[in-house]
Chain A
Amino acid sequence: MPLPVYDRPPIDPAAIVSFIEAERLRPHGELLRTTAPSAAAVRYQRRHQRTNAARQKLSLERARESSLRAAAREELDRYAAFIRGWDGYDGDPIAPVALKVARLLIDALPAFGNATRLTDIIPGPAPDGSLDLEFRTASRRLIITIYGGESPKALEIRTLRSHGDLREEKSDIDADALVEDLRWVLA
């Protein structure tokens, strides 16, 4: 009599039932032999998109832009400590209102366009108590000069745009013109 051929091990149904009962009582088995978790315990998670270089780059640019703004704010804080004669002659202290406006502009930069295009934000003190705020991108440069007086009304703003050899200087500009210039440099 030929031997029976099995494509799987012969399992006694009673043995299966007892195995299941044992699993119910001791889910992890006596020697932690059970490695397959039950279907209810499995939660599928979306795979991390590690190869999305664009998103990673954007994040780096934001971090760099944020770092530029922090460095500029730090430099402005240093200017606030200047006293008369800070330049070795009779330089005026930097006007508090000019410092305040400069800080506001730096904080509000992302609202004017793609601030990640900036390659540099450079403040510069002047002996007459005014303040320069220079924004640079790969091809454009905007210098905002802020004069502060005794009162906020004495505030005066000038801008100098540079794009290659083209230059445009504007004096005593209003808020709309300033916003336009900021949008221009971040465009």
Chain B
Amino acid sequence: MLWSKTFVGSWLRRRFVAQWCSIHYIPDRAVLWRAIRPDSVYKKDGSIKPAFFRDRRGRHYSCDIAAFSTREQSRRGYADPPAWNRDEAGLVEFSTGDVRNCSTTGGPDVNHAPVRNARVVNYSHAQFSRELTGEEEEAMAKQNARIVIKPSL
């Protein structure tokens, strides 16, 4: 019910945000968003560079759950003040299922990880459960993710 596009779903989501509840399972159909800079796309064809999906610091890759965010908010980022030029950012979309099935042996899981600190308040924040391998990065960039708002090159 939490993920449905009905009035009840919307009301439930608002309650979850208000009470800062943690979501234990994100279904495969849940859409994820992440802002993209012009430096992360190939200039020739506008496709995504594999490095866009890399985060091997142990903190793992960040994204926003679309059901709890808006395109414009995710595109411009939640950090205040921003450390980048928000106007040139684009938006990339992929699903939780895309992440879980990005390789034949199975990709990482996606976990809800809301952030609330002095600079960032982002309930929709989620993270991959592990880092992607080089081939998984390629698969995500080439097959699974798509750009819904183009960054200004």
Contacts and interface: CB of A to CB of B under 8 A. Distances in A.
A166 B57 CA distance: 29
Interface residues of A, number: 31
Contact of A88 (B49, B50, B55, B77): B77
Nearest to B86: A88
Interface string B118-130: 0000000000000
B50 to A, nearest CB: 7
Nearest to B141: A124
B49 A84 contact: no
Contact of A83 (B52, B83, B86): B83
A128 B42 contact: no
B82 interface: yes
Contact of A90 (B37, B59, B134): B59
Contacts of A122: 42, 49
A84 B83 contact: yes
Given A79-B39, A83-B83, A122-B42, A90 B62 contact: yes
B83 A169 contact: no
A124 B51 contact: yes
Nearest to A156: B56
B84 A145 contact: no
B133 A125 contact: no
Interface string A56-96: 00000000000000000001001100011111111010000
Contacts of B62: 89-90, 127
A85 B42 contact: no
Interface in B99-123: none
A88 B39 contact: no
B49 A132 contact: yes
B54 interface: yes
Interface in B27-58: 34-35, 37, 39-40, 42, 44, 49-52, 54-57
A127 B61 contact: yes
B72 interface: no
Interface of B: 34-35, 37, 39-40, 42, 44, 49-52, 54-57, 59, 61-62, 76-77, 79, 82-84, 86, 89, 133-135, 138
Given A87-B35, A120-B44, 4 more contacts: A85-B82, A87-B40, A89-B77, A169-B134
